Structures are given as C-alpha cells and as structure tokens.
C-alpha cells in the first residue's frame, strides 16, 4: 500500500488551489469532486474531509453526493481500467457475455479491482458509441465490435504488454 496522504502532497495542494478558483462555493461540490477523481483516480477519504471543510458543507453531504453519482468511486481504481458498455445497443449485441467472460477470466466483479491491483473492471451505462456496439474501453482506447469469445485474451495481452 502507498503511504497515507498528507496536506503537503502536491496533489492535495492542487485540489486546494482548484477550490479557490471556484471561490469555495458550496455549489461547486460536484465540479470539485470531478477534479479530485481526475487527480487521484478515485475519491480518497482524507481529501473528501478537506473538501467538506473548505466548501463549508457537512461531511455527510459530501459523502452523500459522492455515493449518489455512478461516476464517482470511493475505492482506488486498478492500474488499468476495463469498462464494458452496457447500453442497450451493446447489450443486444452481447455485452452481457463480454462482462461474463471478463469476470470469469479475472475473477473480479464490476466495480472491483484484481487482487494485484492491475485491472479494474467496470460497466458504463452507455458510451454513446452505439455504432461500434458492443464496445469496451480499455484505459482510453475504445475497442469496437468486440467478440465475447476473444475479449479476455485481448485484455490479457494488453496487460502483459504494458
């Protein structure tokens, strides 16, 4: 595990700076959480407490907002992220099977990370790329018209290559 976060951490300082840009307005909470997640890859508890204090909103509200929206995660993401689109177009073209295959191959469920922290599996509501269905996003790369039988091998290969 990595060392606990401190206020001296440059990433924490960056969050503080961003909050100043928003004049520490309570209504900027969601925008700030986006920035935190972009910097850390998830929402660390220590930073959430800091955000609550700076924006002068109760910690319960910060927690409530963080857990309400699907885009935010309170758990650290894996080094690599595999996002399976579960939109309707992808679903009718076999996205469910793709998810099954990945779950079986890596032993993780959507929203979880492999024990070695290498791969996180997640599902998206819809990527809006329905012409490419079924679609999977590996890190930033969109894999279009994925074959359920081959996806596990493809991801394995990408993990080995990185």
Q: Which of residues 99-118 bind another protein (CB under 8 A)?
A: none
| Closest CB to another protein among residues 78, 134 | 134
Closest separation between CB of residue 140 and another protein, Å? 9
| Distance in Å, CB of 57 to another protein, minimum | 8
122: how many CB neighbours lie within 10 A of its CB? 20
| Closer residue to another protein (CB): 9 or 130 | 130
> Rounded distance, CA 148 to CA 61, Å?
40
Point out which span in 12-20, 107-115, 129-137, 154-162 binds another protein (CB under 8 A). 129-137
Which parts of this chain interact with another protein (CB under 8 A)?
A: 25-31, 33-34, 57, 61, 64-65, 68-72, 86-89, 91-93, 124-133, 135, 142, 144
């Amino acid at each position: 595990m990595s060392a606990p976060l401190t206020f001296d951490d440059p990433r924490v300082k960056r969050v503080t700076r961003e909050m100043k840009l928003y004049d520490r307005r309570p209504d900027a909470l969601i925008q700030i959480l986006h920035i935190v997640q972009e910097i850390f890859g998830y929402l660390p508890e220590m930073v959430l407490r800091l955000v609550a204090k700076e924006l002068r909103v109760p910690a319960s509200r910060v927690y409530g907002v963080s857990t309400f929206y699907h885009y935010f995660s309170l758990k650290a993401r894996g080094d690599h992220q595999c996002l399976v689109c579960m939109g309707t177009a992808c679903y009718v073209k076999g996205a469910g099977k793709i998810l099954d295959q990945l779950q079986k191959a890596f032993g993780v469920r959507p929203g979880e990370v492999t024990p070695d922290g290498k791969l996180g599996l997640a599902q998206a509501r819809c990527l809006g790329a329905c012409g490419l269905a079924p679609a999977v996003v590996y890190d930033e790369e969109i894999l279009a018209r994925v074959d359920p039988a081959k996806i596990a091998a493809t991801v394995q290969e990408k993990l080995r290559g990185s």
